[in-house]
C-alpha cells in the first residue's frame, strides 16, 4: 500500500469534518425529508455530506473504492475502500438532537484499519488507526475499567430493534443486570464507550457503513468490538462495544437465549 495508515487517518479526519460540518447548515434549520423503502429517513443534508466526502476521496485518492449509504459503491474491488455514513443517527438529526455523527471507515485489503466518528453539533472527533491508539480531538482516550455488569452503564439505540431481531430476552437480562441504561445510541454510543464515558453499547442491527469505523476505534481504545456471538466482524449485522473484561459475560448472556 503506497499510502500509510497515518496519511489515510489524517485524510479521513479532514474529509469527515468537511462533510459533517456541512450538516450544520441544516441542523435545527430547514431541510428536505424523505423516507426510504425501509421507512428510514434521509435528508438533503445526508446526501450533500456524502457528496462532499466522495468528491474529496476521488480528488485525493482516485484509485480507491467507496461504499456509501446514500450513493452506493464504486471501485469496490480496490485494495483501499472508504466506507461512508454521512449522517449516522438521522432520526436524532431531524429532531434537533446533537447525537448524530458522520462516519468514515477505511478497509485495507478488506480489513478495517482506520475509523473516524465525528459529531459535528458537539465538535467531538474520535479517530483511530491500527497500532496508533484512539484519540478524541487529538487526545488519547481509552475504554474505562468496569469489572461487573452491576456497575455498568449500558447504551442502545432503541429497545424496539432488539425485539424485532429476536434479542428481547437478552435485552431484558441486561436491563436487569446493569446499573444504568440510556438510549444515547447509534455511533455516538460506541464513541461514548471508546472514550470511557459508558461501558456497553449494543446495536441489534447494523449495515457495513455503520460498522466499518467502529471496529478500529473500539479496538484501539483498548476495548472489544464483536457481534453477539463474539466474532470480530463488521459484517454480521449486529455489534457489541465494551471493555475486554465484560465481553465474555455479555456474549454468554446472548448465547443463553439462543
**CA atoms of 229 and 84, how far apart (whole Å):** 25
Residues 169 and 238 in one domain: yes
The pLDDT value recorded for residue 38 is: 80
Whether the CA torsion 133, 14, 44, 110 is positive or negative: it is negative
The pLDDT value recorded for residue 28 is: 95
Structural domain contains residue 204: yes
Last residue of a domain, one of 118, 138, 158: 138
Structural domain contains residue 210: yes
Residues 133 and 157 in one domain: no
Residues 100 and 162 in one domain: no
Q: pLDDT band at residue 219, thresholds of 50, 70 and 90?
A: very high
- pLDDT(156) > 60: yes
- pTM given for the model: 0.96
Residues 70 and 167 in one domain: no
Residues 110 and 17 in one domain: yes
SS (H, E, C) the chain: CCCCHHHHHHHHHHHHHHHHHHHCCCCCCCCCEEECCCCCEEEHHHHHHHHHHHHHHHHHCCCCEEEECCCEEECCCCCEEEEEEEEECHHHHHCCCCCCEEEEEEEECCEEEEEEEEECCCCEEEEEECCCCEEECCEEECCCCCCCHHHCEEEECCCHHHHHCCCHHHHHHHHHHCCEEECCCHHHHHHHHHCCCCCEEEECCCCHHHHCCHHHHHHHCCEEEECCCCCCCCCCCCEEEEEHHHHHHHHHHHHCCC
**CA atoms of 127 and 216, how far apart (whole Å):** 9
CATH number of the structural domain spanning residue 93: 3.30.540.10
CATH number of the structural domain spanning residue 164: 3.40.190.80
**Structural domain span for residue 163:** 149-255
- pLDDT(36) > 90: no
Last residue of a domain, one of 138, 169, 203: 138
Residues 239 and 127 in one domain: no
Mean pLDDT (whole number) for 194-206? 97
Last residue of a domain, one of 86, 117, 138: 138
Partnered with residue 111 across adjacent β-strands are 108
Give 41's contacts (C-beta < 8 A, 6+ positions apart): 33, 34, 35, 90, 91, 94
- pLDDT(1) > 60: no
Q: Kindly state the cell numbers that stand for 196.
A: 470511557
Residues 112 and 157 in one domain: no
The pLDDT value recorded for residue 37 is: 79
Residues 179 and 160 in one domain: yes
Structural domain contains residue 244: yes
Structural domain contains residue 21: yes
**CA atoms of 245 and 230, how far apart (whole Å):** 13
Structural domain contains residue 35: yes
Residues 128 and 153 in one domain: no
- pLDDT(20) > 90: yes
Structural domain contains residue 144: no
Residues 213 and 111 in one domain: no
Residues 133 and 249 in one domain: no
Structural domain contains residue 143: no
Number of domains in the chain: 2
Mean pLDDT (whole number) for 30-58? 93
- pLDDT(158) > 80: yes
The pLDDT value recorded for residue 226 is: 98
Residues 98 and 186 in one domain: no
pLDDT per residue as tens digits for the range 59-92: 999 999 999 999 999 999 999 999 999 999 999 9
Give 2's contacts (C-beta < 8 A, 6+ positions apart): none
CA-based end-to-end distance of the chain: 42
Amino acid at each position: 500500500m503506497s499510502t500509510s495508515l497515518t496519511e489515510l487517518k489524517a485524510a479521513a479526519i479532514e474529509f469527515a469534518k468537511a462533510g459533517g460540518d456541512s450538516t450544520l447548515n441544516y441542523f435545527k434549520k430547514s431541510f428536505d425529508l424523505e423516507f426510504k423503502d425501509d421507512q428510514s429517513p434521509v435528508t438533503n443534508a445526508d446526501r450533500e455530506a456524502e457528496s462532499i466526502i466522495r468528491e474529496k476521496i476521488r480528488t485525493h485518492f482516485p484509485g480507491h473504492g467507496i461504499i456509501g449509504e446514500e450513493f452506493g459503491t464504486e471501485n469496490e474491488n480496490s485494495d483501499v475502500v472508504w466506507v461512508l455514513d454521512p449522517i449516522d443517527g438521522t432520526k436524532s438529526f431531524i429532531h434537533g438532537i446533537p447525537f448524530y455523527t458522520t462516519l468514515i471507515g477505511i478497509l485495507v485489503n478488506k480489513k478495517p484499519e482506520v475509523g473516524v466518528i465525528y459529531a459535528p453539533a458537539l465538535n467531538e472527533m474520535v479517530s483511530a488507526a491500527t497500532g496508533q491508539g484512539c484519540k478524541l480531538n487529538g487526545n488519547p482516550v481509552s475504554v474505562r475499567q468496569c469489572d461487573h455488569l452491576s456497575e455498568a452503564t449500558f447504551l442502545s439505540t432503541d429497545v424496539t430493534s432488539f425485539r424485532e431481531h429476536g434479542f428481547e430476552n437478552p435485552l431484558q437480562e441486561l436491563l436487569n443486570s446493569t446499573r444504568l441504561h440510556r438510549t444515547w445510541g447509534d455511533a455516538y454510543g460506541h464513541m461514548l464507550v471508546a472514550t470511557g464515558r459508558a461501558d456497553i453499547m449494543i446495536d441489534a442491527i447494523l449495515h457495513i457503513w455503520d460498522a466499518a469505523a467502529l471496529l478500529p476505534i473500539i479496538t484501539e481504545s483498548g476495548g472489544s468490538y464483536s457481534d453477539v456471538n463474539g466474532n470480530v466482524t463488521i459484517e454480521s449485522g449486529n455489534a457489541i462495544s465494551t471493555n475486554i473484561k465484560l465481553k465474555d459475560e455479555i456474549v454468554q448472556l446472548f448465547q443463553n437465549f439462543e
